[in-house]
Amino acid sequence: MIRVAILGAGIGREHLAAYRKLPDAFHVAMIVDQDRARAENLRDTDDFVVAPDVKTALDNPEIDVIDICLPPHLHVPVALKALTAGKHVICEKPLATSMSDVDKIRQAAAENSKEVFPVFQYRWGPALAQLRGLIAAGLAGKPQVAAIETHWSRGADYYAVPWRGTWAGEQGGAVLGHAIHNHDLMTHFMGPVAALSAMVATRVNPIETEDCAAISFQMANGALCTSSITLGAATDETRIRLVFEELTATSASEPYAPGAGHWTFTARDAADQPRVDALLVQLADESVGFEGFLAAISDTLAEQESNAVTLEEGAASVELVTAIYDAARSGHRVHLPLAKTHPLYEGWQP
């Protein structure tokens, strides 16, 4: 049994709901939040302890995993303390807000022989299991192009939380806090990014950080991708269209769990459609979102075969955000990977 302390009862609520679905793998032993009432409100039949400070969890020898659900500016210092205390770490996005801080996390994980799992729960769901299966069966072919739309609505109520919309607290805007999951899905299926161009703007809300962006990517395999981002849409909708050599995959519009929606998978050659349809029926079973994400972590910690998100995949996400902000500010096309001499290696905050 893996014993967990959740730090933060905001998005931590969603993590707790997923842990409850995996009672044979995890036990949430503690929830840490300065607002005790908010943490207590999460209690159902759980026997977790509510604590007001992180140190209580770090000092508890029975805690195996620290699940960081805190504001972004706290992710790195808390992750480093948890690793030094001999705990595995699950960390909400973003894992870090500089590549140099990723290096510190990487070093601490290695020195303490502990795992770090960046949170990218969008990867799990029946539709995405179907797509992975079609690719594995050779029915997709080479990636060609992709279009990602993160069109959500965020207004004054969202930014009433003091740290949101600020460089000091949120550490970034829509690129960092909203589209990061969809960009992870893009690279998961289309491959790593070789170069990109970007524009960002603050058009919707009176905040410090960006709430709109338009980005173009060239992938290492030659595929071309685009990302359109706004927090000024009428509703929250995510649309993903992935075009492969022999197959086009199109999502529905679910914003927070794309893999849970009904996707269409269309063969370019109509003669291949029966094979595609037959395989889809066999591949329609996979846990959605956080449940699938946590189940994979359980497999890793049990030293079983696993598709859990790795520290290096989290590092690649931070590098991608760094490159986007660099491209947007400089107006130049930015090539990846980024060297340690890159001007934003120590952070993109103005």
Per-residue pLDDT at 112: 98
Per-residue pLDDT at 129: 93
Chain segment 20-46, per-residue pLDDT in tens: 999 999 999 999 999 888 988 888 888
d(CA 38, CA 32): 10
d(CA 227, CA 198): 9
Chain segment 123-156, per-residue pLDDT in tens: 999 999 999 999 999 999 999 999 999 999 999 9
State the pLDDT confidence band at 340, using cuts at 50, 70 and 90: very high
Per-residue pLDDT at 37: 87
User: What are the chain's domains?
Assistant: 2-121 (3.40.50.720), 123-286 (3.30.360.10)
- The full DSSP string for 285-348 is ----HHHHHHHHHHHHHTT----PPPHHHHHHHHHHHHHHHHHHHH-S-EESSPPTTSTTTT--
Which secondary structure element, helix H or strand E, spans residue 257, and what is its range? Answer: none
Per-residue pLDDT at 218: 98
Report the length, in residues, of the chain.
Answer: 350
d(CA 171, CA 227): 20
Residue 183 in this model has a pLDDT that exceeds 90: yes
Per-residue pLDDT at 265: 98
Average pLDDT over residues 54-66: 96
Per-residue pLDDT at 284: 67
Q: What is the mean pLDDT of the chain?
A: 96
d(CA 251, CA 238): 8
The torsion angle over the Cα atoms of residues 293, 299, 302 and 308, rounded to 10 degrees, is -60
Q: At what angle do helices 180-190 and 126-136 cross, to 10 degrees?
A: 20
Partnered with residue 200 across adjacent β-strands are 213
Chain segment 273-332, per-residue pLDDT in tens: 999 999 998 876 778 899 999 999 999 999 999 999 999 999 999 999 999 999 999 999
d(CA 136, CA 156): 45
Chain segment 105-119, per-residue pLDDT in tens: 999 999 999 999 999
Question: In a 3-state reduction of DSSP, which class is residue 64?
Answer: coil
